[in-house]
Amino acid sequence: MKNVTLCAKWMGLVFAALFLAACSSNETKEAEAAAAAAAEQAAQETAAREAEQQAQAQAQQVREEAAADVGTVFYFDFDSSSLTDDARGQVDAHISALLGNNASVRLEGHTDERGTREYNLALGERRANAVRDYMVANGVPSYRIETISYGEENPLAYGSGESNWQQNRRVELK
Amino acid sequence: MVLTKRWGIVLLLLCVSGVRAELQIEINQGVENPTPIAVVPFAWQGVGSPPEDVAQIIDSDLARSGQFAPVSRRDMLSYPTRESALFFRDWRAISAEYVLIGRVTVGAQARIDFQLFDTTRQEAVESGTVTGPVSELRMLSHRVSDSVYETLTGIPGAFATRLLYVSVTRNPTGKDFYRLTLADSDGRRPIVLLEGREPILSPAWSPDGTEVAYVSFETSRPAIYRQNLRTGEREQLTNFKGLNNSPAWSPDGNSMALVLSKDGNPDIYLLNLKSRALTRLTRHFAIDTEPTWMPDGKSLLFTSDRGGRPQIYRYDLRTQKIERVTFEGRYNARARVAQDGRNVALVHQRDGRYHIAVFDLVTDRLTVLTETSLDESPSIAPNGSIVLYATKRGEASILGAVAVDGGVRFSLPAREGSVQEPAWSPYVTP
C-alpha cells in the first residue's frame, strides 16, 4: 500500500510535471506568436509613424521653403503700420513654418528718412509690433518673437524719393 | 532687466579721427551790410613759432556769424599789436569800422591780451585778457571772439562751445559705420567718442558740459549710455525691452528724461541719476517721445500723436497736467527750447516737406526758418541765436545752421560721408 501510495504520488508528480510542461510549451508558442504579431504591428506602426514623420518633415520643408520663397522683408505703406495684403500673405507663410518648428525670430522695424529720428524709432516699433501681433494671433507663442526698431537707421536704399523710401518702410524677419 | 550700474573705462577721447569726421564750414547767407572789422595778426610772445594763428581763428568766427565782414590781411596797411602803433586813418582808409589787436603770451599758461577799437570814434571800446592751458589756445581764441561779439552785438557769443554729432559712412554692401564725434564749434579738433557698425543716436549734453548721453545699438539692442568727457568713464543707464531713447538731462543735472516702451508703447520716464528710481510720467497708448526740458526744469515738452498726428505737448512736473502746445500744421516734432524759455526750435511739416521752424511760446507764432525739405534734429546755440540742424545734400546728410531771426545761414558738411544729429553744448566752464 505504501508503495502504491508512493507510486501514485510519483505518478502525480510526473503528470503534474508533464502537464506543466505541456502548459508551458503552449504558453511559449502563444507568447511567441503574440510577440511576433506585436512586433509586426510595431514595425507597421513605426513605418507608419516614420512615413508620417517623413511626410510631416516634407510638409514642413515645403512650408519653410514657401516661407523662404516669400522673403523676409515685409513692406509698408507711407505713414502706416498696417500689414498690406502682400505683407499678410508673406507673414502667413512664415507663420505656417513657425508653427511646425521651434525657431525664434527677430522682427526689425524700419521707416523711411522723413520726419524725426526718434519719432521714427517709435513708428518702426509699431510696424514690428504689428507683425508680431499678427503672428501671435495666429498661434506663434510671443516668447519666440523679439521686436526691435531701427527707425530710419540702416536704410536698404540710400537715396531720397518714393522709389527709395518704399524700400525702407519695412519689417525684416531675422 | 533692471538698471545696470556697470561703469567701465572706454578707449575714448584718445582717438583723434583725422579729417574723416571733420566738418567744413560754408557760409551761405549773412546779414545785409555786415560790419567791417579788421582782426590784425596778434603778436607772439613765446618760444618757437605759434601753434595757432589766434587772429585767424577770431576772424573766421566773426565771419561765420554772418554779421561781420572781416578785412583781408592783404588789404591792411600795417600790423599793429599795441595801441601806440595804431593809426586810425590807416583803418578808415580801408573802411574797417572796428580794429582788434592783441598779443599771445605762452609760458606755463597761455594768455591772450586784446583791445578792440572803434575807428570812427577813435577810441577803445573793449580791452580784455583770457588765460588758460596752452593746449586750449584755440578755445581761448574763441573766448576772445565771444567777448568781441558781445561788445558789438549785445548778445553773448557762442564760439567757445563744442558740438556733438554722429558721422556715418555708408556701406551699400554691409552695415554703415557710425562715429559719435565731439568737435569745437568751428568743426575743428574732432574727437571720436564711440564708433562701430551699430547705430548711434540722440546725443545729449549734461547741463555742465562735462558728460554726454546717447543711444547705442552696440549690444544689437538699443540702450542709453552716459560718458564722462574728462575721465572717459562710461555707464549703461538702461537696458529695457523695447525702445530706450531720447535721453534729456534735467537743468539741475540730477535726473534724465527718457523714452521707454517696456510697458507696451513709448512713454516718457524720469530716471533719478542718484537713487536710480524710475518714474513713469506719461501713460497713453499713443506715441510719446522726444522729451526736452524747459530751462526752469519745471516742465517738459514732448512729441505725441495722441491727437492723431505728432504735435508738441507740455508736461508740468508739479501738477502732472499735460497740455497741447502746437496746433499749426499736421506735424510738429522734436522740440528744443532756447535758454530764454521762449523760442522753441522744432521740425514742422508743410506741403509734405520737413522744415526747421521756431515756435514762440509767448505769442504762439510759428516761423519756418529753412527751405530744404528733409530737415531734422534742431539744436539751439547756448546764446539762443542760431539753430543747428541736419539736412540732406544729395544722398549725404549735412549740418545746416540758421539764425533764429532767419538772417544768417551756413552749412557744415562732413569732409567724407554723412553727419547728423548735432547737439550744441552748453557754455563750458573754462
- Blockwise average pLDDT, block size 10, chain B, 430 residues: 39 43 78 93 92 96 92 96 96 96 95 97 97 95 97 96 94 89 93 96 97 97 97 95 97 98 96 97 97 98 97 98 97 97 97 96 97 96 95 91 89 90 86
- Ramachandran region of residue B196, left (φ > 0), alpha (ψ -120 to 50) or beta? left
Helices A117-137 and A85-99: crossing angle, nearest 10°?
50
A21 vs B40: CA distance, rounded Å: 129
**Nearest Cβ partner for A117 among B242, B349, B377:** B377
Written as one letter, the residue type at A22 is A
Residue recorded with cell 574732432: B190
- Minimal CA–CA distance to A98: which of A55, A149, A143? A143
Q: Tell me the pairing of strands A145-151 and B288-293.
A: unpaired
Per-residue model confidence (pLDDT) at position B23: 84
B374 vs B382: CA distance, rounded Å: 24
Q: In 3-state terms, what secondary structure has residue B316? A: strand
Q: In 3-state terms, what secondary structure has residue B424? A: strand
Per-residue model confidence (pLDDT) at position A23: 52
CB-based contacts of B260, cutoff 8 Å, min separation 6: B238, B240, B242, B243, B244, B266, B267, B269
Confidence band of A5 (pLDDT split at 50, 70, 90)? low
Say yes or no for a CB contact (<8 Å) between A158 and B170. yes
What average pLDDT does range A85-106 have in this prediction? Answer: 96
Domains of chain B: residue spans and CATH? 2-23+159-338+407-424 (2.120.10.30), 35-153 (3.40.50.10070)
Say yes or no for a CB contact (<8 Å) between A119 and B333. yes
What counts of helices (H) and strands (E) characterise chain B?
A: 3, 32
> DSSP labels for A19-88?
HHHHHHHHHHHHHHHHHHHHHHHHHHHHHHHHHHHHHHHHHHHHHHHHHHHH-SEEE--TT--SPPHHHH
**Nearest Cβ partner for B290 among A119, A153, A159:** A119
**Nearest Cβ partner for A118 among B175, B242, B334:** B334
pLDDT per position as a tens digit, A114-158 = 999 999 999 999 999 999 999 999 999 999 999 999 999 999 998
Say yes or no for a CB contact (<8 Å) between A122 and B221. no
- Tally the residues of chain A: 174
Which stretches does DSSP call E strand in B5-109? 7-9, 26-29, 35-39, 43-45, 68-70, 98-106
Q: What is the pTM of this model?
A: 0.88
B392 vs B414: CA distance, rounded Å: 12
Minimal C-alpha gap between B246 and chain A (Å):
7
Interface of A with B in 52-111 (CB under 8 A): none
Q: Is A140 on the interface with B (CB under 8 A)?
A: no
Q: Is A114 on the interface with B (CB under 8 A)?
A: yes
- Give B347's contacts in chain A (Cβ within 8 Å): 115-116
Per-residue model confidence (pLDDT) at position B9: 41
CB-based contacts of A85, cutoff 8 Å, min separation 6: none
Element (H, E) at A3: helix A2-70
Interface with chain B: mutation pick from A111, A119, A174, highest number of B CBs within 10 Å: A119
Per-residue model confidence (pLDDT) at position A128: 98
pLDDT per position as a tens digit, A29-66 = 777 888 888 888 888 888 888 888 888 889 899 999 99
Q: In 3-state terms, what secondary structure has residue B6? A: coil
Could you report the predicted ipTM of this complex, rounded to two decimals?
0.90
Per-residue model confidence (pLDDT) at position A19: 52
B310 vs B2: CA distance, rounded Å: 30
